[in-house]
Structure 1
Amino acid sequence: MSLILMALAAAATHNVSVEHHGSQVGATYTARTEIQTRTIGAKTPNRMDNQRCLWTATIVVDRKLDHGPALARTVSSDKQFSGSEPGACAASRQTGARNIARYQDKIAAHLVDVAQADRAPLLAELDQVRALASN
């Protein structure tokens, strides 16, 4: 299971280069998932188990600049995927992490969209830093 998570982490990055006052600034956008689970239903003796594990994975996009930790921040966390599985939720099952692999194409597309939408705010932040540095 850890190999799948490592592969997901490797595939969930997007690099862009922005020109700012004659120099290139590289930014890396990384998607990570925050998974929440909840067990619904009842498990009673002498009856059939009707528990289900509901999971919701929120895609959080973090931005980091190549020049250092300045202006690193969380850019977006609005994309969610959800589903359910039979049985109770347990940490050892890794329910959401196992199911999120189906959405890798959508996560990669979301990452590109977030990077494009963040271009103007990134340039504005770089202008602010430049203005502070020149004072």
Structure 2
Amino acid sequence: MTMLIALAAAAATHSVTIEHHGQTIGATYVARAEASARTVGARTGARMNGQRCHWTVTVMVDRRLDHGPAHARTIATDQRFSGNDAGACTGDRNREAAIMTRHRDAIAQRLVAVAQADRAPLLAELDSARALAVN
């Protein structure tokens, strides 16, 4: 079972301003998570339920620029959370929300780090686009 989880906007966005050739450009980084879950174990008649839900959440970051869709992209991160819960995996949104809330601070810290690391690549992309526009 694979699902996309939308994170709370307040905890999952980070905005920066970059100066590029005298122009101020705003970039917004939005964290999103892709979760997968797998039920292991068996549920048999009168016996105790032996099912467990093994889940993994991978955090990815989407970059958008304020002046338009150009240079928007997804930045893969190495941030992953995993665990298991009692019972079968279902499309339970409460469980998904609890996982994201539990790791909100780590996700926010990673989002800031990704934005800082993306500064040089973003400036290079903007320089490249400017060079093509001038020619």
- Asked if Structure 1 and Structure 2 have the same fold, meaning a TM-score greater than 0.5 normalized by the shorter chain, the answer is yes
Indicate conservation of the 8 Å contact 2:7/2:33, yes or no.
no
Identity percentage over the alignment? 59
Q: Distance in 1 between matches of 2:43 and 2:77?
A: 34
* Partner in structure 2 of residue 27 of structure 1: 27
Deviation by residue 1:71-107 (Cα, 9 ceiling, x = unmatched):
0000123211111110001113543332220111110
Give the Å deviation of 1:9.
Answer: 2.6
User: 1:11 offset after TM fit, Å?
Assistant: 1.8
Q: Residue type matched to 1:90 in 2? A: T
1:77/1:90 Cα in 2 relative to 1: closer, same or farther (>3 Å)? Answer: same
Counterpart Cα distance in 2 of 1:56 and 1:109: 19
Provide the rounded CA distance (Å) in 1 between the counterparts of 2:76 and 2:45. Answer: 45
Separation of aligned partners in 1, 2:71 and 2:91: 34
Match of 2:16 in 1: 16
Unaligned runs of 5+ in 2: none
Distance change in 2, residues 1:29/1:93 (3 Å): closer
Q: In proportion to residue count, which structure has more helix?
A: 1
Tell me what 1:85 maps to.
Answer: 85
Contact 1:55 1:96 in 2 (8 A): no
The residue that corresponds to 2:96 in the other structure is 96
How many corresponding residue pairs?
131
Say whether the 8 Å CA contact 1:58–1:80 is kept in structure 2. Answer: yes
* Letter aligned with residue 39 of structure 1: T
Cα RMSD after superposing both structures: 1.6
The residue identity in structure 1 corresponding to 2:115 is A
Contact 1:38 1:55 survives alignment (8 Å)? yes
**Normalised TM-score (structure 2):** 0.90
Q: Which residue does 1:64 correspond to in 2?
A: 64
For 1:60 and 1:6, the matched residues in 2 are separated by 11
Match status 1:39 vs 2:39: yes
Say if 2:101 is the partner of 1:109: no
